[in-house]
Amino acid sequence: MKAYLLAVIICMTLVFTSCADSMNNADNYVQISDNYRNYYEIFVRSFCDSDGDGIGDLNGVSDKLDYIKEDVGADGIWLMPIMPSPSYHKYDVMDYYEIDPQYGTMDDFEKLIEQAHNRDMKVIIDLVLNHSSHLNPWFREAVAGLWDDEENEYTHYYNFTDQYVGSGYTKVTDKYYYEARFSPDMPDLNLDNQKLRSEILDIAKYWIDHGVDGFRLDAVTSYYTGNETKNTEFMKWLNDSVKEYKADAYFVGEAWTTQAIIAEFYTSGIDSFFNFPFSQAEGTIVRNLNTQKGGKLAEAMGSWNDTIKSFNGEAIDAPFLSNHDNARSAGFLMRNLCKKKMAASIYLLMPGNPFIYYGEEIGMTGSGNDPNKRLPMLWSTRNTAGITDIPPEANQSITELDGVDAQMKDKNSLLNHYKKVLALKKRFPQIARGQMKALDTHNSELCAYTMTYNNSTVVVIHNLSGNELSEDLEKHGLSDMKVKGSLFCDTHNRTPRIVKGKAILAPNSTTILE
C-alpha cells in the first residue's frame, strides 16, 4: 500500500511539474517594447472587400485583424501604398496626405490604427520617395512653369534638364526632359532639394501623428541611381530626422541588390533592409532547403547577421520568402506541403523581423506579371464574402488550394503550421533578438544555431533531411539543454528527444532546445 501511494505521489508530482512547465512556457511571454515584430504584408486592394464593390479596403483589413494576430500569429502589419493614385498598385502617389478613396477614408484608417494598437500590433505604411505620380500637383505645377519658361518652387522638386541625357528621361516640353527611371508616369523626385526634404519630413510627421509606427521605404537604390553614397546619405538624413520626432519609428528599406550594398546601407541607421539574397526561388533559403545543406544554411545565416551588425550594431534583419514583386513561394516550392512548412519554419525563426506576404500562409500561387502576384486573398472556396475582384491584367487564378476557412479546421494545414511556428517563437524572445552562432554539426543536413539574449540561450535545429538524425549535444557544450518545442511536416513523426546526451531529431522537423 505504501509503495502504491508513493507511486501515485510521484506520478502526480510529475504531472503537475509538467503542467507547470507547460503553463510557464505559455504564460511567460511578455511583449517586449521594441521594434521586433513578425510583419504581415498586405496589398489592400486584394485583401478583403468589406463593402462588396470588388476592391479591398481599410475596413476589410480591420475586419481581419483577429485573423492576422490570432490565426496567423503576426503582430505587425505593412500596408502597401494607401495614398491616392491613378494606378491599381498605387506606387505613383498623387497626394501624400490623403487616403485613396477606393480604400476608404482617413476615419477608416484611424480606426484601423486604433484597433491594431489595441491588439498590440504595429502598423507601418509604404512611403514612396523616389518618385511621385505625373498627376501629382507638384509635378503639374512644375511642368506648367516650364511651359511658360519660368521656374517655380516645384520645378526643383524634380530632375529636369534641357538636354536628352539618355534612357530613363522623358520629354515634357519642346525644351525640357525629366528623369523617370521606372515609367514616364512616375517622375523621379530631386531629393537634394531642401524644400522637398522639409516636405518629406512633414509627410512622415503627418502619418506618425495619425498613428503609424514606421515606414517601408520603396526602391532605396533608386533615390540616386548608381550612387550608393548619396543613397546612404539621404537615408541617414531621413532616419535621423524622423527619429528626432518619434524615437522608436521603425524603417525597413527595399534594397533589391547585392549583400555588399545592403550591408553598407545599414550605416545609414535604417533599422532593417529586406534580405533579398536569402529570398525567392534561387535565394539562400530555398537553395539549401532543396539540397538539404543545413550546415551551409546555418553558416550563411550567422555570417550575414555578423556582417550587418558590424555596420550597425542595432541592425534588424528582415527575412522573407516572396513579396508583391516576386513569384509566390508556393510555386517555386512546387506546391509541396512539406517544403512549404520547412521554408516557413526557417525564415520565421531567423533572427530579426520576418515578413509574411498575405496568402503565403495558405500557399497561394502567382507568377509572371505583377497583377498575378497580387491575386485576391482566398478566404474560402465556397463563400465569396470578402473576396475581391482580380487586379487589372491578371491572367492567372488560384486552383487546387483550400481557403482560409478550410485550412483553419485542418490541423495539418500550412496555415496552422504558420500559427504553430509563431506561437512557439513568442515563447523565446532570444530567437528574434539574440546573438546568433552557427553550430558545426556532425550531420550536414542539420541547420543548427544558438541564439543568446539577456544571458539566456536557446538552440534552433532544422532537420532538412527525410531521415531521423541524432546530434551529440555534449560536443557543443549543450548537455544541459532540454527539448522545449517542435514543429513537423508530418504530424505522425515522433517527437524529438534527448537520449544519453544526444538529440534525436525527426525527419523534416524543427526543434527548440533551452
The tens digit of pLDDT for each residue in 295-312 reads 999 999 999 999 999 999
12 pLDDT above the threshold of 50 = no
501 pLDDT above the threshold of 80 = yes
Closest by alpha carbon to 51, among 94, 108, 125? 108
Share of the chain above pLDDT 90, in %: 91
Q: How far apart are CA 312 and CA 118, in angstroms?
A: 32
Tell me the mean pLDDT in the region 393-405. Answer: 96
Taking a C-beta distance cutoff of 8 angstroms, is the pair 381, 403 a contact? Answer: yes
4 pLDDT above the threshold of 60 = no
The pTM is what? 0.94
**H helical segments located in 372-446:** 404-409, 414-426, 430-433
Predicted confidence band of residue 28 (pLDDT cuts 50, 70, 90)? low
Closest by alpha carbon to 41, among 270, 361, 260? 361
Q: Please tell me the predicted confidence (pLDDT) of residue 491.
A: 73
Instruction: Label residue 147 left, alpha or beta by phi (over 0 means left) and psi (-120 to 50 means alpha).
Output: alpha
Q: Which residues contact 439 (CB under 8 A, 6 or more apart)?
A: 298, 448, 449, 450, 459, 476
Q: Please tell me the predicted confidence (pLDDT) of residue 494.
A: 83
Q: Please tell me the predicted confidence (pLDDT) of residue 23.
A: 33
Q: How many CA atoms lie within 13 A of 212 on its CB side?
A: 23
Tell me the mean pLDDT in the region 470-474. Answer: 96
Q: Please tell me the predicted confidence (pLDDT) of residue 25.
A: 43
Q: How far apart are CA 436 and CA 9, in angstroms?
A: 42
Tell me the mean pLDDT in the region 27-43. Answer: 82
Annotated catalytic sites, by residue? 218, 254
Alpha carbon dihedral 71, 77, 82, 88, in 10-degree steps, equals: -60
Residue 438 β-bridge partners: 449
Q: How far apart are CA 164 and CA 168, in angstroms?
A: 10
Q: Which residues contact 214 (CB under 8 A, 6 or more apart)?
A: 35, 122, 124, 249, 250, 251, 252, 271
